[in-house]
Structure 1
Amino acid sequence: MTATTEPMTDDEIHREIFDAIVGGRLAPGEKLGQDELGKVFGVSKTRIRPILHRLSDQKIVVMEPMRGAFVARPSVEDARAVNAARQIIEEGVIRAATRVAQPQHLKMLREIVAEEQRAREGRNGGRAHRLTGEFHCELARITGNDVVSEVVRELVSRDSLVVALYQRPSSSGCSLGGHADLVDKIEAGDEDAAAHAMRHHLQDVMETLDLGEEGRKSQALAKAFAHLGDKS
């Protein structure tokens, strides 16, 4: 493909690779060659390396000595463990958020839900996945606890890859109705109801997964980022 006329920023490149992974355009186990990615984005491989390390910190890319970077391949056990961890942590998160949430926080959450709806209607799976994660990360930020926010962001990133690998084709992961209901529970100030809704929301996500299938057919890097050719 033809590189874009102006080099992309590191954040833009990170977002494109992240979206390609969680959107299923890059399969788990896919090799992420620095030279090839550099050509795709029209930058040097020295720009690509720290971006891959950043994705590795998010647990969705694995860096292997002497072999390079690969899209992480979570096991079925990983999928279950990550969801269980999210249930434990995010029930506490939403309780804390319910206690301190202000009108501007509720407005932000509803805006994210609306943006996610538009992304799904526009069949922009990568953006929809990212907004789904952002909703949960925003809940954590509302608590004001930076450590909690960091933990939730890592779990959400790992779960995004799980969903990309195991989600049934007819499913869409986190439901918009579930997100809207969570905001309603926070607005009502009912901690118990909010925690109950969060637990069932995350359990519903597990129900969208087919944990009997592992692996997907790999796609070439150039094909995964083919849409960038439209910016040339």
Structure 2
Amino acid sequence: MPSTGPARPQGKRKSTSKAEPAALPGAPLKRGTTAVDLRIYRAVVNAVMSHRLPPGTHLGEADFCELYQVSRTTVRKALQRLAHDHIIELRPNRGAVIASPTPEEARDIFAARRALEREIVPLVIRNASPASLRQIRAALEAEDEARRTGDRAGWIRLGGEFHLLLAQLAGNHVLLRFMSELVSRCSLIIALYETPGSAMCENDEHQDLATLIETGKVNEATHLIEHHLLEIEGRLRLGEQDKKVNLAEALSGF
């Protein structure tokens, strides 16, 4: 149980009636979800997407109880939702750990994501409006700012959110739900297999994609998104990394 580190998240023992936004755009809220267990869910997802909680990290219920000042019942609700979304695994006699996809699973997940995003991009172009195009450009500005300031964790997270924004703008809630899961699982895969120091999601490709969307070039945009995802997968390397993390540090700021 961590005893030192950065300021801990301030939680509440009693749930409130107003839930926070979901961790991922468009992620559906489960019946009975409260602000507190949703906050825990959101913190873990954001830490995973920012590579602050690598695969295999043990998540102790007692640690969450201390960090958020909540009961084990509240923590278990959040962990159950994380397990449902394949972000963690609940293992007998070991408890909750961040999921550790195998290389074979990684290939399958990236293949599924390529198939999904090939369908999403034409829908984004078909439904394009001045408002949606402004959202895309605003997302790219935030991503570029993170890169300019050297905020690698923020840049990686914003890169994933850019892809989720496209799924949201496609206007198909089923595709969006699948993308929410796949982006989280791809972030796990990148955390496990990325080559140290590599830029996993080049902002220039996002800029090029935005231009193709704005000009309505469906075939070129669809080809680029597939190439983009293949490039990300191609920069991964096999071989697990044994990283030890402090849960309080990983979740600070969330």
When normalised by structure 1's length, the TM-score is 0.87
Map 1:142-221 onto structure 2 (within 5 A).
Answer: 142-211=169-238, 213-221=239-247
Instruction: State the alpha-carbon separation in 2 of the partners of residues 49 and 124 from structure 1.
Output: 32
Which of 91, 98, 108 matches 1:81? 108
Question: Does the alignment pair 1:3 with 2:14?
Answer: no
Report the aligned-residue RMSD.
2.2
Question: Does the alignment pair 1:100 with 2:124?
Answer: no
Q: 2:24 maps to which residue?
A: none
Instruction: State the alpha-carbon separation in 1 of the partners of residues 149 and 66 from structure 2.
Output: 28
Shift of 1:111: 1.0
Question: Does the alignment pair 1:132 with 2:137?
Answer: no
Cα 1:5/1:87, change in 2 over 3 Å: closer
AA aligned opposite 1:3: R
When normalised by structure 2's length, the TM-score is 0.81
Q: Larger deviation: 22-31 or 90-99?
A: 22-31
Instruction: State the alpha-carbon separation in 1 of the partners of residues 184 and 10 from structure 2.
Output: 30
Shift of 1:34: 1.0
Shift of 1:87: 1.2
* Equivalent position SS for 1:59: coil
Q: Is the 8 A contact 1:165 1:216 kept in 2?
A: no
Cα 1:221/1:179, change in 2 over 3 Å: same
1:108-151 Cα shifts (integer Å, max 9, x gaps): 11111111222233444443333222211111122211111111
For structure 2, the 5+ residue unaligned runs are 13-34
Could you say which structure has the higher helix fraction?
Answer: 1
For structure 1, the 5+ residue unaligned runs are none
Q: Larger deviation: 64-73 or 74-83?
A: 64-73
Q: 2:54 maps to which residue?
A: 27
* Equivalent position SS for 2:221: helix
Q: Is the 8 A contact 2:123 2:171 kept in 1?
A: no
Q: Larger deviation: 192-201 or 19-28?
A: 19-28
Instruction: State the alpha-carbon separation in 2 of the partners of residues 131 and 222 from structure 1.
Output: 22
Identity of aligned residues (%): 36
